[in-house]
Chains A and B, each alone.
Chain A
Amino acid sequence: MRLALFITCFNDTLFPETGKSVVRVLRRLGHEVEFPYDQVCCGQMHFNSGYREDAVPLVRSFVDAFEGYDAVVVPSGSCTAMVREYHAVVARQAGGTLPAGVARVAPKVYEFSEFLVDVLGVTDVGAYFPHSVAYHPTCHSLRLLRVGDRPTRLLRAVRGLTLVDLPRADECCGFGGTFAVKNVDTSVAMGGDKVSAALESGAQVLCAGDNSCLTHIGGLISRQHAGIRVLHLADILACTEALPDLQPYGPGLDIASGFAAEQTPAPEVTR
């Protein structure tokens, strides 16, 4: 299986650790993932903000970058949903060869938890993470991709991890892309309630499949000094007893030391 990673522009720029975690987990499971350097962005921000024509070259570059791979794994529910649900809409409007290209590539694009559970058929990825975790199902994972319980099945199989219920889990956190700045007050009101739910859950870590939502929730947590860490699912699944905890890089916590942990040899293959 020729496997590609679509890191997403957001993770590429702000959350490289999550990309490394995906590489690490897949390598542990015996799969090498390629990173096509021509990839840029799924075009969601332009598409959802009304700049539909500006999304066309991004959809085209996505097709060009990922044509020929058997599967594309994406550590983001939102970007996966953009590719699978809306690239065809953009392509239809653009016409030419783009609709055919999207029809070839888009069905091979998988959100990270989908890829692990549906394509690789694993739920136990050999991870170890001795902390209490609440899972927030991001809206596009939940209602566009219908990833269902795949992420929680993966988390339940992590040794040492205690999965706690997040109250009102299916409520949106209020990020919503440009909604977070166009309707800042409403966005913060929604996010504040999500932080309250996370605190209510008693969890130490709030986990999700989208770093975009976690940047919003984590940004509120950091400003309020609420003391909960936000982590992408991949970053939890990457942890092992040999490398028990990534140095957190989320809002409110230190990035720089994350690279120190990365420099240590990775003996996790000896699971």
Chain B
Amino acid sequence: MTTSVRREPTFVGMPPFPEAAHAELANDVQRANLRAATHTIRAKRDAVVAEVPDWELLRRAGEAIKDDVLAGLPGYLERLEVAVRAAGGVVHWARDAAEANTIVVAIARAKGVDEVVKVKSMATEEIELNNALARAGIHAWETDLAQLIVQLGEDLPSHILVPAIHRNRAEIREIFVREMGRFGRPAPERLSDEPGALAAAARRHLREKFLRAKVAVSGGNFAIADTGTVCVVESEGNGRMCLTLPETLITVLGVEKLLPTWSDLEVFLQLLPRSATGERMNPYTSMWTGVTPGDGPQEFHLILLDNGRSDVLADPVGRQALRCIRCSACLNVCPVYERTGGHAYGSVYPGPIGAILTPQLRGIAAHRVDAQTASLPFASSLCGACFDACPVRIDIPEVLVHLRAQLVDGERGPRDRAEEVGMKAVRWAFEKPWRIGFAQHVAGVGGRFARHGVIGRVPLPKRFTGPVSAWFADRDAPAPPAESFRSWYKRTDGGQEE
């Protein structure tokens, strides 16, 4: 067994969002790729959502079903466990990433394998399973096309659904040509950057891995508590290969992925593909219930992962984030995400949902968080496009503001003394109307020094980094007028005496 398995990069040590965004905004290739990709997928989603007359009712149904699951989670999980066991599966419980990884590694070792094939899965990204396997000398081969691009490129995912959304075809061709040969079948000679050619190269590269693998690892989109059925929704067929060919299948499932009954899938199989890829139905929907003798994997392990979810569930406002079905609609409509890309969020969950989910999974409700985590709830202009697009009606702006209050009022984040002083000063000025009048008068006197009523570049020393220099770095502002509205109203009796 080899121990020279390549480790994958992680988000550990990323700077806070504003700093990361500053660098990402200058990446012209990524800006162009994301502009094109997000606008295309937005248009597709809008078209297929508009053709569903009861879309709002479907969203409400999705919200209600998920809320019911979250309200009765312990009972539903036990029902699932009983059903999976009855169907011949093995159920494991993992409190955190380390426990889940230990279970996967132990199963793979027991099978004596030095490689596993993987269906794209956010849960295994979250627990950094690939590196845990690498430490044990086991290769984890990603088989989703975009995930393969990220893995081969020693890159980080930047999107929940399309992890390589920041790459264009020329970059993908270069990665394939450079890297494929190191890990299996090389890219063909004179590979072009036509999408068909790139897909064919990936297919040939992956096929030998599909046919050879004895163990597969997947996540799951849904699990039915009543029947023990697990469901994976995908577009490429790589998932179907992993879920049917190997002898052993390990599924890592976040505990919030449950649905009570089979018929609840009716709602989610409409909501998910339309929100995610802008398709009426995704090409491959795989469902399995335990083990079927003589058909598919003969050993099935289901690992139920908490990893902070119970803490999220304890927060009455924040818990709605657990309704998320990982469709990425909020990323695709987000004006911040479109410009910064996913890496700036420093987490496997980027975009608006990442900004509310990551800090909660990292324990913001319970203890102080680091500066990077604390920057995430502020990585939004609160424009609300994400809430409108969310198929399970997660009010992301509401949770963002709730988390900001936890950071500031709840003192879970690093303190910003200057901001605190500013906010207190404004509060003081607003306590008595005469104070605001006085402040306006002072501002108005100052405004007379502005040329043509405009404050332009403000010559501040370079080390001065406050909101004032931030505003005036790229923007002018109108000078405060000599007379505020309240002064004018008083002087003229609301314009009667003019």
- B-binding residues in A (CB < 8 A): 7, 9, 11-17, 19-20, 23-24, 27, 32-35, 37-41, 45-54, 57-58, 61, 86, 139-140, 142-144, 170-172, 174-191, 215-216, 218-220, 222-223, 249-256, 258-259, 262-263, 265-266
Contacts and interface: CB of A to CB of B under 8 A. Distances in A.
Given A46-B423, A181-B470, 11 more contacts: A15-B485, A23-B495, A41-B436, A47-B401, A50-B401, A172-B385, A185-B22, A254-B452, A254-B453, A255-B479, A263-B498
B193 interface: no
Which has the most chain A C-beta neighbours within 10 Å: B385, B475, B494? Answer: B475
B456 A223 contact: yes
Given A176-B381, A188-B474, A254-B453, A51 B408 contact: yes
A16 B474 contact: no
B339 A189 contact: yes
Given A12-B440, A16-B484, A250-B478, A176 B380 contact: yes
B481 to A, nearest CB: 5
A253 B453 contact: yes
B443 interface: yes
Given A40-B436, A143-B387, A183 B481 contact: no
A48 B377 CA distance: 10
Contacts of A190: 335-336, 339, 381
- State the majority secondary structure of interface residues on A: helix
16 contacts: A12-B484, A19-B488, A20-B488, A37-B433, A49-B419, A61-B430, A143-B385, A179-B382, A182-B470, A189-B339, A215-B478, A222-B475, A223-B475, A253-B453, A259-B483, A263-B498
B481 A45 contact: no
A185 B25 contact: yes
B423 A215 contact: no
B430 A40 contact: yes
A256 B453 contact: yes
- State the majority secondary structure of interface residues on B: helix
Interface string B435-467: 010011001000100001110100000000001
Nearest to B335: A172
A51 B484 contact: no
Which has the most chain B C-beta neighbours within 10 Å: A50, A52, A175, A251? Answer: A50
A40 B433 contact: yes
B378 A52 contact: no
Contacts of A254: 452-453
A38 B432 CA distance: 8
Interface string B401-423: 10011111100000000010001
Nearest to B450: A255
Nearest to A262: B498
B430 A51 contact: no
A4 B16 CA distance: 44
B476 A219 contact: yes
Given A139-B384, A249-B453, A50 B484 contact: no
Contacts of A57: 427, 430-431
Contacts of B471: 180-181, 184, 219
B495 A24 contact: yes
Nearest to B413: A50
B64 interface: no
A184 B468 CA distance: 11
A251 to B, nearest CB: 5
B383 A176 contact: yes
A176 B494 CA distance: 31
A89 to B, nearest CB: 8
Nearest to B431: A57
Given A38-B433, A144-B384, A190-B339, A50 B408 contact: yes
A222 B335 CA distance: 23
Interface string B222-253: 00000000000000000000000000000000
B436 A16 contact: no
A48 B401 CA distance: 6
A136 B104 CA distance: 52
Contacts of A52: 405, 408-409
B126 interface: no
Contacts of B111: none
B340 interface: yes
Contacts of A266: 495, 498
A173 to B, nearest CB: 8
Contact of A251 (B405, B476, B485): B476
Contacts of A223: 456, 474-476
Contacts of B335: 171-172, 174, 190
A184 B18 contact: yes
Contacts of A37: 433, 486, 490
A219 B460 CA distance: 18
A12 B447 CA distance: 15
A156 to B, nearest CB: 25
Nearest to A27: B495
B359 to A, nearest CB: 12
Contacts of B481: 14-17, 249, 255, 258
A255 B423 CA distance: 28
Contacts of A143: 383-385, 387-388
A180 to B, nearest CB: 7
A23 B489 CA distance: 10
A201 to B, nearest CB: 18
Contact of A255 (B433, B440, B453): B453
